[in-house]
């Protein structure tokens, strides 16, 4: 029996800030506040980004399935993210807009729509709130004003900077990333003579806009725009309170982005913003970490569809689920082809499982009972152990072996007790559909079975074969092949089909 209350109490995550697995204890019993850093919309979101969002999509689904009331906030950065994450350079949206001859907000609108399309294509559940940077300027200005009144920030030449060295006297700068300030100093670009910063490690809270920078707003300090690190620290607590439960994002955000969010929060309130910091690792493509600054990305939609090796976005979801979210993910044609096959085995198993009736009488096979019970427990143990979807899936595949054995006549439904049968069914469906978020291939519509079109064609196939109309038989066979369906005759002459 699935005891969700028990499971909720057994949940643990690896917390970046403590560098160890911790039991998850929400601030408010039964509720979870989750903030994930979203896309910067000056270009198409790439598969590295999608991996991160998929990881937190699974987290969100699992928390809800466990019975938590979750408030999920994921922002959209439509201004302020400068070219070099280390805070130099020009606003990324502004640069791209100029390249494309568009107003920055036009560009942001376009790539926000693209991002939402991608999220829909990969079937991610939308968050509860998707705040934009431009939609929270007054809040950011208020926050910066307050910080300005502390020793940790200073104005200079119309910009406002966070004083890292002053902060490091009272706090431990680098507690999230493990970076040492001294090492940072040697890595930073030396300040230009005319720089407004006191030290190269300092980062902008508010940046005075160059004359040709279109995105600009009046402020107490200058016409300018907010720094990237301020946006998230302000919006997250604005909707989730301070502190909130979980702050998520890609590992590339640990430093400087999340380190700087944490610093601002501690500097202003003594509060570390979030209890648990979860980070998803990078996608590696052609030996390079997938990141726009490395210019080694695969735009998530267009190229994906063109790469005819994986017509199902679910193949990427499978690839992601089969890896541990804290490991790098190797993306290649081979890996995706393999993941696609795995997904199809899994989804065909789901199709078959849903057609099983609970046995009324049974003669349980002891070894099998034990194996299936162990697999079911294993799924939840794995999920509770820092979202180990890879191990959870291996247990799901143990269940799948049994499903296929039944399908092929090597086992029967009677081999399990009704109770274990129910447990098995619930576990497989919950894990595969509700938590890992897989669904049936798009081309064949909903998850209702059987698909009327396929059914029709199968019936025609049978009749045509009986009537010895082999031309028609061949037409149908070719059609199925072109549409990713394969079928075979059972011994009794009926047809079974599956996605290929």
**Which residues form the interface with a copy of itself (CB under 8 A)?**
71, 102-103, 105-106, 109, 113, 116, 126-132, 134-139, 142, 217-218, 239, 452-453, 456, 459-460, 463-464, 467, 469, 471-472, 475-476, 479
Minimal distance, residue 125 CB to a copy of itself, in Å: 11
Q: Which is nearer to a copy of itself, 116 or 419 (CB)?
A: 116
Query: Are 301 and 114 within 8 A, CB to CB?
Result: yes
Q: Which is nearer to a copy of itself, 145 or 398 (CB)?
A: 145
Query: Are 231 and 80 within 8 A, CB to CB?
Result: yes
- DSSP at 188: S
Q: Which is nearer to a copy of itself, 170 or 469 (CB)?
A: 469
Minimal distance, residue 284 CB to a copy of itself, in Å: 33
Q: Which is nearer to a copy of itself, 20 or 463 (CB)?
A: 463
Q: How far apart are CA 139 and CA 123, in angstroms?
A: 32
Minimal distance, residue 11 CB to a copy of itself, in Å: 24
Q: How far apart are CA 437 and CA 350, in angstroms?
A: 13
Minimal distance, residue 20 CB to a copy of itself, in Å: 33
Q: What are phi and psi of 485, to 5 degrees?
A: -125, 135
| 299 DSSP β-pair partners | 46
CA torsion, points 186, 192, 195, 201, in degrees to nearest 10?
Answer: -10
Minimal distance, residue 407 CB to a copy of itself, in Å: 27
Query: Are 15 and 278 within 8 A, CB to CB?
Result: yes
Nearest to 404 by CA among 345, 340, 451, 449: 345
Residue 469 three-state SS: coil
DSSP per residue over 122-182, as a string? TTPPPPSB--BSGGGHHHHHHHHHHHHTSTTEEEETTEEEE-HHHHHHHS-TTTTT---HH
Query: Are 62 and 135 within 8 A, CB to CB?
Result: no
Residues contacting residue 311 through CB under 8 Å, at least 6 positions apart: 305, 441, 443, 484
Query: Are 128 and 245 within 8 A, CB to CB?
Result: no
CA angle 9, 382, 33 (to 5 degrees): 50
Q: How far apart are CA 178 and CA 174, in angstroms?
A: 5
Minimal distance, residue 201 CB to a copy of itself, in Å: 30
Q: Which is nearer to a copy of itself, 424 or 476 (CB)?
A: 476
Minimal distance, residue 137 CB to a copy of itself, in Å: 5
Q: How far apart are CA 242 and CA 233, in angstroms?
A: 10
Query: Are 220 and 206 within 8 A, CB to CB?
Result: no
Q: Which is nearer to a copy of itself, 411 or 460 (CB)?
A: 460
Q: How far apart are CA 362 and CA 2, in angstroms?
A: 21
Q: Which is nearer to a copy of itself, 116 or 385 (CB)?
A: 116
Query: Are 320 and 281 within 8 A, CB to CB?
Result: no
Q: Which is nearer to a copy of itself, 132 or 281 (CB)?
A: 132
Tokens (6 digits) for 126: 């939308």
Minimal distance, residue 457 CB to a copy of itself, in Å: 8
Q: Which is nearer to a copy of itself, 238 or 439 (CB)?
A: 238
Minimal distance, residue 93 CB to a copy of itself, in Å: 13
Q: Which is nearer to a copy of itself, 136 or 258 (CB)?
A: 136
Q: Which residue carries 């009272």 as its tokens?
A: 170
Minimal distance, residue 73 CB to a copy of itself, in Å: 9
Peptide bond into 256 cis (omega under 30): yes
Minimal distance, residue 217 CB to a copy of itself, in Å: 5
Q: Which is nearer to a copy of itself, 180 or 459 (CB)?
A: 459
């Amino acid at each position: 029996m699935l005891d969700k209350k028990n499971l909720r109490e057994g949940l643990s995550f690896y917390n970046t800030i403590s560098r160890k697995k911790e039991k998850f204890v929400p601030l408010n019993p039964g509720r979870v506040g989750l903030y994930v850093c979203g896309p910067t919309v000056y270009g198409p979101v790439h598969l590295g980004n999608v991996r991160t969002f998929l990881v937190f999509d699974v987290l969100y689904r699992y928390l809800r399935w466990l019975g938590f009331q979750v408030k999920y906030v994921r922002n959209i950065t439509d201004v302020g993210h400068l070219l070099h994450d280390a805070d130099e350079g020009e606003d990324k949206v502004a640069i791209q807009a100029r390249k494309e001859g568009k107003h920055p907000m036009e560009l942001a609108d376009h790539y926000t729509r693209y991002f939402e399309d991608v999220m829909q294509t990969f079937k991610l559940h939308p968050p509860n709130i998707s705040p934009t940077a431009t939609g929270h300027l007054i809040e950011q200005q208020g926050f910066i004003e307050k910080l300005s009144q502390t020793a940790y920030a200073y104005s200079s030449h119309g910009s406002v900077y966070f004083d890292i060295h002053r902060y490091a006297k009272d706090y431990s700068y680098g507690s999230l990333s493990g970076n040492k300030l001294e090492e940072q100093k040697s890595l930073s670009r030396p300040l230009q003579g005319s720089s407004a910063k006191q030290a190269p490690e300092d980062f902008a809270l508010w940046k005075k806009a160059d004359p040709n920078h279109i995105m600009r707003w009046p402020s107490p300090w200058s016409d300018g725009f907010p720094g990237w690190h301020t946006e998230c620290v302000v919006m997250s607590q604005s909707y989730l309170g301070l502190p909130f439960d979980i702050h998520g994002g890609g590992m590339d955000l640990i430093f400087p982005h999340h380190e700087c969010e944490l610093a601002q929060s501690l500097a202003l309130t003594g509060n570390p913003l979030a209890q648990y910091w979860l980070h998803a690792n990078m996608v590696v493509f052609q030996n390079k970490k997938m990141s726009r600054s490395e210019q080694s990305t695969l735009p998530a939609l267009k190229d994906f569809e063109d790469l005819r090796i994986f017509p199902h976005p679910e193949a990427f979801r499978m690839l992601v689920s089969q890896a541990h979210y804290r490991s790098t993910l190797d993306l290649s044609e081979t890996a995706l082809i393999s993941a696609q096959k795995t997904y199809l085995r899994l989804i065909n198993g789901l199709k078959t499982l849903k057609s099983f009736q609970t046995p009324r009488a049974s003669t349980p096979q002891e070894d099998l009972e034990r194996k299936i019970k162990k697999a079911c427990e294993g799924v939840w143990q794995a999920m509770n152990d820092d979202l180990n979807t890879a191990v959870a899936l291996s247990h799901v595949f143990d269940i799948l072996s049994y499903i296929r054995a039944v399908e092929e006549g090597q086992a029967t439904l009677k081999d399990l007790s009704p109770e274990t049968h129910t447990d098995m069914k619930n576990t497989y469906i919950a894990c595969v559909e509700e938590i890992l978020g897989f669904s049936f291939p798009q081309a064949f519509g909903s998850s209702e079975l059987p698909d009327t079109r396929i059914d029709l064609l199968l019936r025609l196939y049978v009749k045509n074969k009986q009537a010895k109309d082999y031309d028609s038989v061949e037409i149908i066979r070719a059609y199925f092949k072109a549409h990713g369906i394969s079928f075979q005759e059972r011994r009794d002459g009926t047809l079974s089909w599956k996605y290929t």
